[in-house]
Each structure stands twice: as C-alpha cells, then as structure tokens.
Chain A
C-alpha cells in the first residue's frame, strides 16, 4: 500500500507541537484549572465569609485543621496558575514590542508564583502555629 506523502500528518502535529512549541497544553491547563477553581473558590469565599467578624486567633484555629489549610492552598495554587495563563494571553494579544512583551510575560510568572508562595507560606505558618 502506497501512502500519499501529502496525506501524512506532519510530525509537529503528531507530537502536538505547533508554532508555540507547546501544542494545546496552555488551553488544557486553562480549562483544567478553571474546573478546579469552581469548588475551590467556593470554599475560599465560604472561608472568608465565615471569618468576617473573627479575630486573628479564630482564623488560626480554623487553619489548624489540615483539610481547611490544604483546600485553601490548593485553591490558591489553582487560581494563581489560572490567572498566570489568563494574563499571558492578554499580554500576547496587546503587547507587540519584543522587549515589552517578554518583560511582561516574565513579570506575570514572577507575580503569580510570588502571590502563591506568600499565601501558601502564610497559611502553613498559621496552620502549624501553636
């Protein structure tokens, strides 16, 4: 059987790589974190709502429960990754000068990961506090 070379799927497509060299990875990660965000942000809002009138000691007491601390950290991880992916698309759409675009893309990752690190550290610190 002779296969017409014109009908062959290009190797880059087989590997899932397009011009961005990452295939549909960005799209899938955006969707996966979006789905994860729904229950996790619901929990986050409930936590904040629950502690509106609370003292700092009350918040720390709640965070002592591992499920509470873990769900909040997972929510922040998912949300920070989701917003990093989202703002990346906005930057790519509106910034066209190379220097500005790549600076903004790098800054976006730096800000998102820093926000996650600071909040995760804060929650763990309170969760492990006496």
Chain B
C-alpha cells in the first residue's frame, strides 16, 4: 500500500534509509543482533526436535543424534551456539543502553567490538569444552 502511494506521487521526498549511510560496525552489529535473533527462532526448532526425539523412541533418537553427529549437523550446531552467544551478549549491551548507560561513542565502539570478539571466543571455548566432555 505504501509503495502504491509513492508511485502515485513521484518526486516526493523519502526519509533516508540504510543505503544512504556509510556502513559502520555499530550499525552492522545492530543488524547482526536482529539476524541472529531470527536465526535462533529457526534453531529452536532443532532443540525442540531433539527433545521430542528423546521422548519418542530409541530408534528415532539415534536418527536425530546421527544428524547432529554428522559434519553438516555439527556445522549447523556451531552456527546455532554462536548465534545464541552473540545474541545474548548483544542483549546485555542493549540492556545497558536501556538503563541509560554507555552512550559515549568510545563506549559504544568498545562494546560492539567486545560483543563480536567475545561471541567468537566463547563459542570456540564452548566447543572445546564440548569435545572435552564427549571424549
């Protein structure tokens, strides 16, 4: 509907949108927070599938375990854990802002970097522990 109105009145000014701004890390990280959130929605289906399979039967649980044991399943799980950790740290970052703190530009830049680096380090650490538990 909005598109139709714009087409009817050409040349009307539009409010600046994403493409008008120079890409910045803080902006990218804001987009990443939303993207990981949507990815986690999809990932939750895998978690529910795992619980449902465990409740169902030995045979079906083995099938699901085999999927998560496969390299492709592992890759999906790796992405899942990274998205979860990234979104969790991003959530803490947004919570600090909700409390009215951390709006200094240097602080913002520091927090987005800590978010990115922290999520990668913690994800790798989690998988090292995971492989340690398994073996």
Binding site for B on A (CB under 8 A): 31, 34-35, 37-38, 41, 44-45, 48-50, 52-53, 56, 59-60, 76, 79-80, 83, 86-87, 90, 96-98, 115, 118-119, 121-123, 125-126
Which residues from A are CB-within-8-Å of B40?
83
Q: Which residues of B contact A (CB under 8 A)?
A: 1-3, 34, 37-38, 40-41, 44-45, 47-48, 50-52, 54-56, 58, 61, 81, 84, 88, 91-92, 95, 98, 126, 129-130, 133-134
Nearest chain B residue, comparing its CB with the CB of A115: B48
Q: How far is the CB of A70 from chain B (nearest CB, A)?
A: 14
A34, B51: Cβ atoms closer than 8 Å: no
Instruction: Report yes or no: A41 in contact with B54, Cβ–Cβ below 8 A.
Output: no
Contact B51 A52 (CB under 8 A): no
The 30 listed contacts between A and B (C-beta, < 8 Å) are: A34-B95, A37-B91, A38-B88, A38-B92, A41-B84, A41-B88, A45-B81, A45-B84, A45-B126, A48-B47, A49-B129, A49-B130, A50-B133, A52-B130, A52-B134, A56-B54, A56-B58, A79-B44, A83-B37, A83-B40, A87-B37, A87-B38, A90-B34, A90-B38, A96-B1, A115-B44, A118-B51, A119-B48, A122-B48, A122-B55
Main secondary structure of the interface of B (DSSP, over half): helix
Question: Taking CB as reference atom, which chain B residue is nearest A127?
Answer: B55
With A56-B54, A96-B1 known as contacts, the answer to whether A86 contacts B95 (CB < 8 A) is: no
A98 to B40, CA, bound (A): 26
Q: Which of B45, B51, B92, B126 has the most CB atoms of chain A within a 10 A radius of its CB?
A: B51
Tell me whether A123 and B48 are in contact in the complex, defined as CB-CB below 8 angstroms, given that A86-B41, A87-B38 are known contacts.
no
- Find out whether the CB atom of A31 lies under 8 angstroms from the CB atom of B38: no
With a CB–CB cut-off of 8 A, which chain A residues contact B92? 38
State A122–B56 Cα separation when bound (angstroms): 8
How close is B72's CB to chain A, nearest CB, in angstroms?
A: 17
Q: Judging by beta carbons under 8 Å apart, are A122 and B51 in contact? A: yes
A90: shortest Cβ distance to chain B, in Å? 6
On whether the beta carbons of B1 and A97 are closer than 8 Å, the reply is: yes
What is the bound-complex CA distance between A121 and B52, given in angstroms?
Answer: 8
